[in-house]
Amino acid sequence: MANPVSAAIHQCRLFFIALQFFTRLPIPRWVGFEPAWLQHASRYFPLVGVVVATISGAVYLLASWLLPSAVAVLLAVAAGIYLTGAFHEDGFADMCDGFGGGLTRERVLEIMKDSRIGAYGAIGILCLLAIKCAALASLPPATVVATLLIAHPLSRLAAVSLIWAMDYARDEGKAKPMAQEMTTGEFIIAAVCGLLPAIACGLLGIFYWATLVFAIVAAAAAAFWLGRKCQRRLQGYTGDCLGAVQQVAEVAIYLAILSSFQPPLRFY
């Protein structure tokens, strides 16, 4: 029987490995590194989202004391991009270029591997960031931090669902080390990490449960829609696909939460 203390330390190591892989943040030296750990670290990808959301939320709170909410939102989004090294935004732009300009599986993969950004990627990322910032700036200021804490882990859970449900489409790539088969148990850990902030917001009364369910459904729909596209065009997913799912699911969550604050349309 495994020592509980050793097992807990191992789980901490997996979390820090995920944090190092998906962000610029430093990790303690005692963590060390073994290639096998990276294969199991994706279970904590949603928990990395909690860290990114916490820092982005702190930036928003500090900025909103002195600046308008829209400017604070821009700074918070910029902080999140800096923390992650635009890892996910780059994946979204690459997927826009690949799926927009490639007609065959091989050509799509070739375009997505190119480090240069094309028209589809440039237009896509500009529209995505504009929608993201506009949606957050349109929310009541008191709910922005809670929305970030819901969207970042939940959107990363949406990305993790592709690792769990699909095969990796390349023989090699930046996500290949984390693209080993994900067990159901590991996905359950990821699901708990991704859903807990939303559940906490519901229990604290920050959002109605219906709003939270709508946000979860929006993230799931984004993952399902893009996952089907990836399966049909690539017969699997790549690291760029994971980044695209995370970004689209994040925006979908923002729009779902924002819609709950809008009065219903009246046609009479």
Give one DSSP letter per residue of 48-61, joined into a string.
Answer: HHHHHHHHHHHHHH
Give the pLDDT confidence score for residue 121 in this predicted structure.
94
Give the pLDDT confidence score for residue 191 in this predicted structure.
96
Using a 10 angstrom Cβ sphere, with 0-12 exposed, 13-18 middle and 19 or more buried, the burial of residue 266 is exposed
Backbone angles phi, psi at 168, to 5 degrees: -75, 135
Instruction: Encode the chain (268 residues) as per-residue pLDDT tens digits.
Output: 457 778 888 889 999 999 998 999 998 888 887 777 788 889 999 999 999 999 999 999 999 999 999 999 999 999 999 999 999 999 999 999 999 988 889 999 999 988 888 899 999 999 999 999 999 999 999 999 999 999 999 999 999 999 998 988 876 655 555 556 788 999 999 999 999 999 999 999 999 999 999 999 999 999 999 999 999 999 999 989 999 999 999 999 999 999 988 666 554 5
User: What is the value of pTM for the model shown?
Assistant: 0.92
Question: Within 13 Å of residue 189, how many CA atoms lie on the same side as its CB?
Answer: 15
Closest CA to 150 of 194, 210, 190: 194
Q: DSSP states of 140-162 as a string?
A: -GGGHHHHHHHHHHHHHHHHHHH
Report how far residue 124's alpha carbon sits from residue 44's, in angstroms, rounded to the nearest whole number: 28
Give the pLDDT confidence score for residue 35 in this predicted structure.
74
Give the pLDDT confidence score for residue 8 in this predicted structure.
87
